[in-house]
Amino acid sequence: MATSVVSSGDPPHPASSPPTKPSPQSIPPYMKAISGSLGGLVEACCLQPIDVIKTRLQLDRSGAYRGIIHCGSTICTAEGVPALWKGLTPFATHLTLKYTLRMGSNAVFQSAFKDSGTGNISNSGRVAAGFGAGVLEALAIVTPFEVVKIRLQQQKGLSPELLKYKGPIHCAHTIIREEGFLGLWAGAAPTVMRNGTNQAAMFTAKNTFDILLWKKNEGDGKVLLPWQSMISGFLAGTAGPICTGPFDVVKTRLMAQNRSAGEVKYRGMFHAIRTIFAEEGLLALWKGLLPRLMRIPPGQAIMWAVADQVIGLYERRHLHSARL
């Protein structure tokens, strides 16, 4: 009979298509944002003293501090150990919000730069996405928070009643009252250049080191051990401070200026660079580089150790298991 031609051993019908390979772009931006916020909070609590020392060294024009150790010991002796955590509230809030926006916006930008056919992103696309995330965080979060942080950190003294700024809220209110709302965005131009360049390098380098060192690709279900994430993050965070040192020094000088007095020493980013070079020499544009290298690469190591665990947990529970 004609019905006997078809048997259970016959091959599958040709119309059935093989399972499609999952797209490499699979971790939602909100998960990246959450991982960044948690990593930023841990980083702030661990590394605030180094940031205080860095700021004091960058603002030191008279040679009061003879180096990192002398600066730290002088602060502890004259102002007490808690002074090393001056500005922690705005710093922790700033880092948490910054990493939330950085990680989330970078994921959104990377989605826009991915190849629509393959779902892959080129190195140039990754650089552009990182730069875009850095510019966005600089304008939306970093500049106003760092203005407040630097104004608080540059205050010297033990007696609160003798300090101009009593805390972060009072500091922000005073700046707005005396200098106008835009006073919170003093030094925005060098901050944009610093953060854009930093994040372009950092995201590209982190992905490269993950692949080269650990054979880890995003969305593959493999979770790096914390020490592996710390090595990749540390290496990725090293290049930025060296390349962007002048922008960071200029940013700090511009943010520290009180514009309410009328005439200011630095009239903008390029004028500040020329003035610092003329008065203090070329190396002054890299003042505070060592504490930056002591803070940023370890900070990236801490942040990525936390963020990779959060992202890895999501990958295992929601992505990798769904493919099995």
- Residue range 162-184, pLDDT digits in tens: 788 988 899 999 999 999 999 99
What single-letter amino acid sits at 44? A
Is the pLDDT score of 251 beyond 60?
A: yes
316 versus 276: which is more confidently predicted?
276
Strands (E), the chain: none
Closest CA to 98 of 199, 170, 171: 199
pLDDT at residue 24, rounded to an integer? 54
190 versus 318: which is more confidently predicted?
190
- Tokens 């990680």: give the residue: 103
Q: What is the distance between the alpha carbons of residues 231 and 205, in angstroms, rounded to a whole number?
A: 12
Is the pLDDT score of 47 beyond 90?
A: no
As a whole number, the mean pLDDT across the chain is 86
pLDDT over 90 percentage in the chain:
52
User: Ramachandran region of residue 221, left (φ > 0), alpha (ψ -120 to 50) or beta?
Assistant: left
What are 269-278's pLDDT values in tens digits?
A: 999 999 999 9
pLDDT at residue 25, rounded to an integer? 46
**Mean pLDDT score, 146-171:** 84
pLDDT over 70 percentage in the chain:
89
13 versus 56: which is more confidently predicted?
56
What are 261-306's pLDDT values in tens digits?
A: 667 889 889 999 999 999 999 999 999 898 888 888 999 999 999 9
Highest-scoring range by mean pLDDT, 10-14, 68-72, 263-267: 68-72
Is the pLDDT score of 21 beyond 50?
A: no
Is the pLDDT score of 116 beyond 90?
A: no
Is the pLDDT score of 2 beyond 50?
A: no
